[in-house]
C-alpha cells in the first residue's frame, strides 16, 4: 500500500480543500496513515459537505465505520477503502483471517512474532494451533502479505491502522470481544512484572504501544478487565521509572478505575494501585493529592490486613514519603518508623523492601539533623541491597547518593565524594544521562 510522505499529504489536503489549518491536516494525515485513497476520501467529504478538516477528523475518530460506509466512493477510485479492503479480507483463508483479526487489536507497528507465537493458550482454534506451528504461521503471514494486509520486518509485523479499523468494524460483537480479550490477556502476560527494573525496560518499551492499544480496546468493549487493569498498572510503574510522569499518571488512573469497578473501592488491589498513583502524583508535585491517595490506601490496608502486615507497611511508607515532601519531617518519621517496625518482623532483617524503608528513614533523619542516625540507617540499607542484588543495582546507587549526602553533612568530604562517584558510575552505566544520573552528578 503506497503512501505519501507527510508533507505531500498535508499539501494534498490543504491544496484540494482550500483549508489553511495545517495542524488539522497533519493530524488527519496521521490518522489516515498518509494513504492516498484515504486522503482522497477525506477531501471529497470536506468538499461536498462544506465542512472543515478539523470537523472531518473529529467525525473520523468518533464514527469511523459509519462515516465511511455512508460516503460515496471518490470518482478516481472504484471502491471506498473499506470496500477495497473488505473484498480482500473476504478472500483470506480462515487461519490468515483470524491472524489478522487478532493483530487488529494491537498497535499497528512492531507486532512481535514472539508475542503472537506465545499466545496459543489464550487464542481460539484454529489460530491457537496455527501460531504453535512455525510452518502454518508462515503460511498465514504469506497470505496476508500477498493481499498487502501485513508487512514483515525482521522478527515483527506491521498492519496499517486503517486495515485494523476495517477488520474490527467487520467483526460481530461477540467476535470483537473474543479478539480484544485475547489481545489484552496476551499482552498482560507478556508485560514484565518487574517493569521498574532497568533490565526489563527494552521489553517494556517494545510492548508499551501494544499494551496501551489492547487496554483501550478492553476498556471500550468491557472485556478482560483484570488483564487490562494489571497491564495499565505495570505500564504506569514503567513510565514512572522512565520519568514520563504525566503518561504514568494517566495509566495508573485507568488502573485504579478498573480495579474499583471490578472489585470495589475498598479492596486491597485498589490500595496497591492507589499507592502507585500517589507516588506518581508526588513526583508531579501534587503533594496533597499524593498524601490523600496514600492515606486512602493505608485505610484500605488497615481494614483488610492485620496491623503488622507488610502491605500496611508499604502504605505507611507512602504516607511518610508524602509528608516528607510536604516538609512535615516529624510526621514522616513516625510513619517510617511504624513501617520499619512491621517489616523487621514481617519480612526479616535482610529483605530488600526493608532496605527501602531504612533508606527513607535515613533521609528523614538527615533532614532532622540526626546525621549519625541517618548514616547508620543508610549504611544498613546499602548492605542489604548489595547482598540481595550485587554491586551495580540502581537501588544501590540511590543508597550511595543518600550516603554521600549524609557524609558530606557530617564533614567527611572524602567519603562523600567516594559515595557520589560510585553512585554516578552505577547510574550512568545503567541509565546513561537519565534523571537519577543527572541528580547524582549535580
pLDDT at 402: 95
Q: Is the pLDDT of residue 79 over 70?
A: no
Strand partners, 157: 111, 152
Where is pLDDT greater, at 414 or 165? 414
Residue with cell 496497591: 272
The pTM is what?
0.82
The region of weakest confidence among 27-36, 106-115, 418-427, 428-437 is 428-437
Query: Using CA of residue 416, residue 419, residue 423, residue 425, what is the dihedral sign?
Result: positive
Tell me the mean pLDDT in the region 95-111. 97
pLDDT at 77: 37
The region of weakest confidence among 70-79, 132-141, 162-171, 296-305 is 70-79
What topology is assigned to 349-442 in CATH? 1.25.40
pLDDT-derived band at 434, boundaries 50, 70, 90: low
The model's pLDDT over 234-246, given as tens digits with 9 standing for 90+, comes to 999 999 999 999 9
pLDDT at 78: 37
Give percent above pLDDT 70 in the chain.
92
pLDDT at 68: 53
The model's pLDDT over 174-207, given as tens digits with 9 standing for 90+, comes to 999 999 999 999 999 999 999 888 899 999 999 9
CATH of domain 85-171: 1.10.10.10
pLDDT-derived band at 84, boundaries 50, 70, 90: low
The model's pLDDT over 24-76, given as tens digits with 9 standing for 90+, comes to 999 999 888 888 877 887 887 788 788 899 998 888 777 666 655 555 444 33
Closest CA to 149 of 93, 212, 199, 74: 93
Domain ranges of the chain: 6-78, 85-171, 349-442
HEC states along the chain?
A: CCCCCHHHHHHHHHHHHCCCCHHHHHHHHHHCCCCHHHHHHHHHHHHHHCCCHHHHHHHHHHCHHHHHHHCCCCCCCCCCHHHHHHHHHHCCCHHHHHHHHHHCCCCCCCEEHHHHHCCHHHCCCCHHHHHCCHHHHHHHHHHHHHCCCCEEECCEEECCHHHHHHHHHHCCHHHHHHHHHHHHHHHHHHCCCCCCCHHHHHHHHHHHHHHHHHHHHHHHHCCCHHHHHHHHHHHHHHHHHCCCHHHHHHHHHHHHHHHHHHHCCCCHHHHHHHHHHHHHHHHCCCHHHHHHHHHHHHHHHHHHCCCCCHHHHHHHHHHHHHHHHCCCHHHHHHHHHHHHHHHHHHCCCCCHHHHHHHHHHHHHHHHCCCHHHHHHHHHHHHHHHHHHHCCCCHHHHHHHHHHHHHHHHCCCHHHHHHHHHHHHHHHHHHHCCCHHHHHHHC
pLDDT-derived band at 213, boundaries 50, 70, 90: very high
85-171 and 349-442, same CATH topology: no
Amino acid at each position: 500500500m503506497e503512501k505519501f510522505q507527510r508533507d505531500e499529504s498535508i499539501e494534498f489536503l490543504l491544496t484540494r480543500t482550500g483549508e489553511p489549518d495545517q495542524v488539522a491536516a497533519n493530524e488527519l494525515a496521521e490518522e489516515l496513515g498518509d494513504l492516498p485513497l484515504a486522503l482522497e476520501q477525506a477531501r471529497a467529504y470536506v468538499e461536498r459537505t462544506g465542512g472543515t478538516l478539523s470537523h472531518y477528523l473529529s467525525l473520523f475518530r468518533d464514527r469511523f465505520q459509519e462515516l465511511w460506509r455512508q460516503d460515496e466512493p471518490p470518482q478516481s477510485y472504484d471502491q471506498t477503502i473499506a470496500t477495497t479492503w473488505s473484498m480482500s479480507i473476504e478472500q483470506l483463508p480462515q487461519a490468515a483471517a483470524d491472524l489478522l483479526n487478532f493483530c487488529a487489536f494491537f498497535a499497528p507497528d512492531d507486532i512481535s512474532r514472539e508475542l503472537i507465537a506465545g499466545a496459543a493458550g489464550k487464542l481460539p482454534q484454529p489460530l491457537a494451533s496455527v501460531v504453535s506451528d512455525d510452518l502454518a504461521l508462515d503460511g498465514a503471514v504469506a497470505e496476508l502479505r500477498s493481499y498487502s494486509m501485513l508487512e514483515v520486518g525482521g522478527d515483527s509485523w506491521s498492519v496499517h491502522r486503517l486495515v485494523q479499523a476495517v477488520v474490527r468494524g467487520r467483526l460481530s460483537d461477540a467476535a470483537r470481544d473474543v479478539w480484544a480479550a485475547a489481545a489484552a490477556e496476551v499482552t498482560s502476560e507478556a508485560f514484565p512484572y518487574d517493569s521498574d527494573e532497568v533490565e526489563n525496560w527494552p521489553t517494556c518499551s517494545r510492548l508499551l504501544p501494544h499494551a496501551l492499544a489492547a487496554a483501550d480496546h478492553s476498556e471500550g468493549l468491557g472485556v478482560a478487565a483484570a488483564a487490562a487493569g494489571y497491564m495499565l498498572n505495570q505500564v504506569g510503574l514503567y513510565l514512572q521509572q522512565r520519568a514520563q510522569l504525566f503518561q504514568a499518571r494517566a495509566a495508573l488512573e485507568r488502573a485504579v478505575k478498573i480495579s474499583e469497578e471490578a472489585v470495589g473501592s475498598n479492596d486491597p488491589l485498589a490500595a496497591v494501585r492507589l499507592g502507585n498513583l500517589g507516588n506518581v502524583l508526588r513526583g508531579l508535585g501534587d503533594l496533597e493529592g499524593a498524601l490523600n491517595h496514600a492515606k486512602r490506601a493505608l485505610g484500605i490496608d488497615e481494614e483488610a490486613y492485620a496491623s503488622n502486615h507488610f502491605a500496611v507497611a508499604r502504605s505507611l511508607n507512602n504516607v511518610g514519603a508524602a509528608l516528607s515532601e510536604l516538609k512535615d519531617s516529624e510526621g514522616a518519621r513516625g510513619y517510617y518508623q511504624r513501617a520499619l517496625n512491621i517489616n523487621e518482623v514481617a519480612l526479616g532483617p535482610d529483605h530488600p523492601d526493608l532496605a527501602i524503608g531504612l533508606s527513607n528513614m535515613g533521609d528523614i533523619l538527615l533532614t532532622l539533623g540526626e546525621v549519625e542516625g541517618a548514616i547508620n540507617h543508610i549504611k544498613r540499607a546499602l548492605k542489604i541491597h548489595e547482598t540481595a542484588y550485587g554491586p551495580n543495582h540502581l537501588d544501590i546507587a540511590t543508597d550511595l547518593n543518600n550516603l554521600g549526602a549524609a557524609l558530606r553533612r557530617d564533614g567527611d568530604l572524602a567519603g562523600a565524594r567516594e559515595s557520589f562517584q560510585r553512585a554516578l558510575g552505577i547510574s550512568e552505566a545503567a541509565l546513561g544521562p537519565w534523571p537519577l544520573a543527572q541528580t547524582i552528578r549535580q
